[in-house]
Chain A
Amino acid sequence: MATPKALVLRAAGVNCDRETQFALRQAGFESARVHVFRLMENPSALAEYQFLVIPGGFSYGDDVAAGKILANQMLHNLAGALNEFVAAGKLILGICNGFQVLLKSGLLPWAKVSTDCAGAEVTLAWNDRGRFEDRWIHLRSDSEKCVFLPAGEIVALPIAHGEGKFVPRDDRTLGKLRDGDQVALRYVDAGGNSGKYPVNPNGSIDDIAGICDPSGRVMGLMPHPERFVDVTHHPQWTRRNVTRADGQLFFRRAFEYLR
């Protein structure tokens, strides 16, 4: 079978595209970095790919709100192509700013790109501490259906964001996500237990760091898996023998799924 192809979406201010492409290639993907304008000119080009990754960065400077303007471009110009992509059973991953884009375009939580409902139920608000923060955290994978990580796995990854506090509109929305097994990742300590700051680094409700759509094939998360694909990325590799680069798991699992 042909090697799965991944598209890394670029736009003004997206800035994690190169290392994301590196992580994808490391996992076995063929990949291309494609500017959103090229897709807007020719939305059908998306169909050539099996995996869409919206990487981190500050799309359009996060002016107005994080990810908002890129999400609007997708809503107004790429809704059809994206909805077909999802319907075809393909994979979508949004990292950090990409997660914000997925929420604001409607790809999460219900995998439906439509102006009627985009962003209406969950959002990523400013961190409780009110500022950008770069630090390493631990995550526990809590979803049985999420394609990108097996349930129960505990991984270390870095976060680097100012607007990453996961906020559902109300308890009902949160309940729906939990009942649907859509809460993919929670912030925990190294032992897998929840805790206050800095274990939960931004005040996310229910410690939620990432969610998936009802199918488990669309996922968004605030931490950066592409920043832990080499053992020397880990902040403590000089202290102890780090044997696994946890971020690789996400891309390998996607590759295995599509192969």
Chain B
Amino acid sequence: MTHRVEVRIRQGFGDPHAEGVLHQIRELGIDSVSAVRSARLFFLIGELSADDAGRVGRELLADPVTEQFTLSGCDANGASVIEVHLKGGVMDPVAASAERAVRGMGLGIESVRTGRRYELDFVAGIQESVSGEQQQQLLDKIATKLLANPVIEDIHFSSYTPPEVHGGSYELCVTEVPIRELDDESLEKLSSDNEMFLNAAEMRAIRDHYRTLGREPKDVELEMIAQTWSEHCGHKTFRSNVRVRNRAGEVVQEIPNLIKNTVFKVTQELDKPWCLNVFEDNAGVIEFDDDWAVCFKVETHNHPSAIEPYGGAATGIGGVVRDPIGTGLGAQPVANTDVFCFGPPDMPLDDVPKGVLHPRRVMRGVVGGVRDYGNRMGIPTVNGAVYFDEKYLGNPLVYCGTVGLLPKNKCRKRTPDPGDAIICLGGRTGRDGIHGATFSSGELTHVHETQFSHAVQIGNAITEKKMLDTILQAREQGLYSCITDCGAGGLSSAVGEMGEHIGAEVHLDRVPLKYAGLSYAEIWISEAQERMVLAVPQENVGKILKIFADEDVEATVIGHYGSRGTGVPPVEDAHATLRLFYEGQPVGELDLRFLHDGCPRPTKEAVWEKIEKFSPLPVLKGDCNETLLKIFAAPNVASKEWIIRQYDHEVQGGSAVKPLVGASEDGPGDAAVIRPVLDSRKGVVISCGMNPKLGELDPYQSALHAVDEALRNAVAVGGNLERTAILDNFCWGNCNKPDRMGSFVQAAKGCYDAAIAYSTPFVSGKDSLNNEFQTASGETIAIPPTLLISAISVIDDVSRCVTADAKEAGNHLFLLGRTGCAMGGSHYLIVENVESGNDVPQVDLQTNIRVMRAIQSAIEAGAVRACHDLSEGGLAVAAGEMAFSGALGVEMDLSAVPTGGASVPDAAKLFAEDAGRFLIEVSPDKYDAFLRLVADCPVGEVGKVTDTGRIVISGDDVGIDLPIDQAKAAWQETFDW
């Protein structure tokens, strides 16, 4: 039977969650709700007496001080009820923990389910004045826009107890899919009917392969091919050959294998000895010191986050955390990063297209997902950025990154030996996440929300944490030869990659399942979270299984590597074959060489030609205070403290420079610094750079800006350019369209040019394409070309680091780097609603690297008290941030701004967004030393730090004079949620 336990806050104790819900109801524009009460619901299913259920309520579920519980339910007293229950089969970590805890109390229980209940009071008199139908509409709106996501949750408007479900069963039925006789049209239909997202050429290659074999494929074989060849897993676009044409249609360039000739080439040409394992593993690895290495990986989880922001972002961070764990022989995650792109947070609800969640809701959900997963894993989230643009409405972007620490002598994995056991570790396999890899390789449409809900999943951070704890123990004892994570593509992709050269045999009925009823194909391709795969020499199997069992981590031998059975002499198999079995019956067999090399590499068409279009020059005269305040309040510039504080950025005890800095610990930091090895002074600087606005206007320059910004941020806190590696993450529209591909090529070229000039190798990267959304009216919205560059820099001593906040009145302020007239893409134009041309500031790579090296040596010499890079909003914003973060003032004169001799209007000096610039505070005693160190750079002494509490900037025809409090308030109000 099922006992329903309702837990609610006792009268007299506050219920912050219910208050939060009320606040958000008001944000929806509904002011007829006067009060909200909430209750947590637990359903105890099994042979339990009412007394037992009462004991569970008392001893486990309800807090004796602040909460009370009932088994009979509470009278709603005329309030309107909304109950939210997770759909069957959706991961419910609370239920899983409660179940274990009830068993731990010695009570027999079958399962636990949970739900949430809300009781809403309406303002007196409303009930009489509106019809029942209107009120129901209001409740529907609150339920669907705020409280529940119908993709994973069911909504009920009265007390609801879910029926007992008894698991289904599965009877083996091997399915063949006839393909050998299909023509192009039928092949494409097969691809789309089965959510394979493969094109005609790829489908033909599969058909021809099976014609050669003289048989039809099994369903599981097709699924595996579709997954491996998906854009998400295969990065087909970046590896393709490209034919670039100008707008007249003439071919101007042919590039074979784009990635090899841009991003990879940088690393090859620079050939840094401290790059230990690049592009081959789940994360890029660089040297930390004699004993340790650090690795870094950034991933995206865009499509799932569009549909279920909380679950999508949580599993995004969960997924990228497994990358370092699966790098080399396993790294310990030591820091997370997150970068988001959303639609405008203040958009009216009615303007949001059908099938799209409101940006505010997406943002709340995404931040909550990253918070809950990262905090529970005990990984500090130390760096990030958020960018807003209307074009992200249908396609929000969620980039998650993880830095890991691993012993230097364990930073490369071996190929498993034939006969090594395949151990599947961690979470159980369910139907969740099926077709995630192919789904993320297609475009979203307004019906996707329902069609692909199975691709969405909820994470369980504690399962992953337990797995990590035990993997590190097994690593120390050297018990496994290879490890990788189950990411997109699940077991199929993990085992397929590890066995690429030697083959594997897998018994799918041995894989532990969340519930019965999964077919062998579903088991193989499920993307259920929190799983890793190990290759374990047979003699270590017993030992390693004990380590996992000792901490309640599920681990199962599901087969072995090599295609010749165990106990056969280890020889490399000429035909690396994967054989799948279910209850002893063969259910699939694939040639892994065909799987990994058989995908046709087409030539992509790209079109690019820049047509110059100039932005109007700023026409500002006189007082620019209002403009500056508007830029401070602009969502891209405004304080992200609301997000940052929800993340634990100090766990693991290595925090050295935090994301918030200054006298009140709430000013913007340029980059984070951690000490991953607690008894060492060495540190790791983590930073990022991105500018989608420029991506739309000039993708080549935008790539230079992104690299420049990531490095600027790192250098600003004390990063070491000689030991800095970078990562690329491209999020683009549909690159089958030549104009998108054209901008992609431009950005890739920019990556090469900037990284070579700055001598910073790429060590890892990833791309997410097809970020386009089709509205109900058939309109396609593509995201702006969005290139994220992340940087990681190893430094010798964190005590040399500096922060951006102004330190002491009387100190000198220097501006390094050149300012020009180009205003394209600037926030000045955005806040003044002026259409931007594509005259974006050109990055001067040769000058900028000189400036950054000079600053690095000045910081190392202790000559810098504060350093802030200039980015969105230009000099005025940087100066203002420095002043209010330090609770001091600045006084500056624009005539000293270095322009390289060009005539630059004062307004551009204030607000232009040229790369390669820094505002630096130097104390009088270091004045000469500093100037000597920056002698070969464009430098101007622009003013002084004051104790007036004002931002004062004067020019010939414009000026700023603002109290820091006013500037700071504008900067903080936007996201004072």
Contact = CB atoms under 8 A, between A and B. Distances in A.
Of listed A56, A132, A169, residue having the most chain B CB within 10 A: A132
Interface stretch (B29-37, B91-99, B347-355, B780-788): B91-99
Contact of A236 (B371, B648, B655, B663): B663
A73 B96 CA distance: 16
Given A58-B376, A125-B66, A136 B665 contact: yes
Contacts of A58: 375-376, 378, 461-462
Contacts of B376: 13, 15, 58, 61-62
Interface stretch (A45-53, A208-216, A227-235): A227-235
A232 B378 contact: no
B60 A64 contact: yes
A119 B652 contact: no
Nearest to A62: B376
Contacts of A68: 60, 101
B471 to A, nearest CB: 14
B96 to A, nearest CB: 8
Contacts of B461: 13, 58, 61
Nearest to A64: B98
A19 interface: yes
B717 to A, nearest CB: 9
B462 A239 contact: no
B64 interface: yes
A29 B105 CA distance: 35
B613 interface: no
Nearest to A68: B60
Contacts of B13: 125, 167
Contact of A133 (B65, B646, B656): B646
A235 B651 contact: no
Contact of B98 (A63, A76, A125, A231): A63
Contact of B665 (A10, A69, A135): A135
A85 B240 CA distance: 67
Given A63-B93, A167-B66, A126 B465 contact: no
A13 B649 contact: no
Contacts of A60: 97, 100-101, 462
Interface in B456-477: 460-462, 465-466, 469
Given A37-B551, A134-B647, A123 B63 contact: yes
A238 B66 CA distance: 42
A35 interface: yes
Contacts of A57: 378
Interface in B624-663: 644-658, 660-663
B20 interface: yes
Contacts of A121: 65
A233 B661 CA distance: 12
Of listed A58, A63, A69, residue having the most chain B CB within 10 A: A63
Interface stretch (B514-522, B690-698, B798-806, B825-833): B798-806
Interface in B656-681: 656-658, 660-663, 665, 675, 678-679
Contacts of A197: none
A19 B465 CA distance: 16
A134 B659 CA distance: 11
A130 B465 contact: no
A74 B651 CA distance: 25
A249 to B, nearest CB: 16
Contacts of A127: 16
Given A63-B93, A132-B371, A13 B59 contact: no
Nearest to A70: B101
A210 B98 CA distance: 28
Nearest to A25: B679
A122 B59 contact: no
Contacts of B645: 133-135
A227 B651 CA distance: 7
Contacts of B803: 238-239
A160 B651 contact: yes
Given A12-B551, A65-B63, A235-B660, A129 B16 contact: yes
B550 interface: yes
Contacts of A94: none
A38 B552 CA distance: 12
B17 interface: yes
B113 interface: no
A229 B675 CA distance: 13
Contact of B648 (A64, A160, A235): A160
Given A69-B100, A232-B675, A16 B469 contact: no
A227 B653 contact: yes
Given A233-B655, A236-B663, A239-B663, A12 B98 contact: no
A126 B17 contact: yes
A233 B665 contact: no
Of listed A56, A134, A232, residue having the most chain B CB within 10 A: A134
Nearest to B806: A239
A115 interface: yes
B249 to A, nearest CB: 56
Contact of A229 (B104, B552, B653): B653
A235 B378 CA distance: 20
Contacts of B375: 58, 132, 160
A172 interface: no
A63 B59 CA distance: 14
Nearest to A16: B651
Of listed A37, A62, A122, A226, residue having the most chain B CB within 10 A: A62
A76 B93 CA distance: 22
B653 A19 contact: yes
A76 B660 CA distance: 43
Contacts of B466: 12-13
Given A61-B93, A63-B97, A64-B98, A37 B552 contact: yes
Interface in B860-892: 886
A238 B801 contact: yes
A18 interface: yes
Contacts of A227: 650-651, 653, 655
B359 to A, nearest CB: 19
Contacts of B65: 119-123, 125, 167-169
A235 B665 contact: yes
A232 B59 CA distance: 43
Contacts of A69: 60, 97, 100-101, 104
Contacts of A65: 63
A120 B64 contact: yes
Nearest to A77: B104
B650 A160 contact: yes
A148 to B, nearest CB: 18
Contacts of B652: 15-16, 18-19
Interface string A118-152: 01111101111111111110000000000000000
Given A61-B461, A72-B105, A125 B661 contact: no
Contact of B460 (A38, A61, A135, A167): A61
Contact of B646 (A10, A56, A131): A131
Interface in B96-114: 96-98, 100-101, 104-106
23 contacts: A15-B652, A16-B652, A16-B653, A19-B652, A22-B679, A37-B552, A64-B94, A72-B59, A76-B105, A119-B63, A119-B65, A123-B66, A129-B16, A130-B20, A131-B646, A132-B371, A134-B646, A134-B650, A135-B665, A160-B648, A226-B653, A227-B650, A227-B655
Question: Which 7 A-B residue pairings sit nearest by Cβ, starting from the closest?
Answer: A15-B378, A19-B653, A130-B16, A63-B97, A123-B65, A61-B462, A63-B94
Interface of A: 10, 12-13, 15-16, 18-19, 22-23, 35, 37-38, 56-58, 60-65, 68-69, 72-73, 76, 115, 119-123, 125-136, 158, 160, 167-169, 203, 224, 226-227, 229-233, 235-236, 238-239
Given A167-B13, A235-B660, 19 more contacts: A12-B465, A13-B376, A16-B378, A19-B654, A37-B550, A58-B378, A60-B462, A61-B94, A65-B63, A69-B104, A73-B104, A76-B104, A125-B63, A128-B16, A131-B646, A134-B646, A135-B665, A232-B675, A238-B801
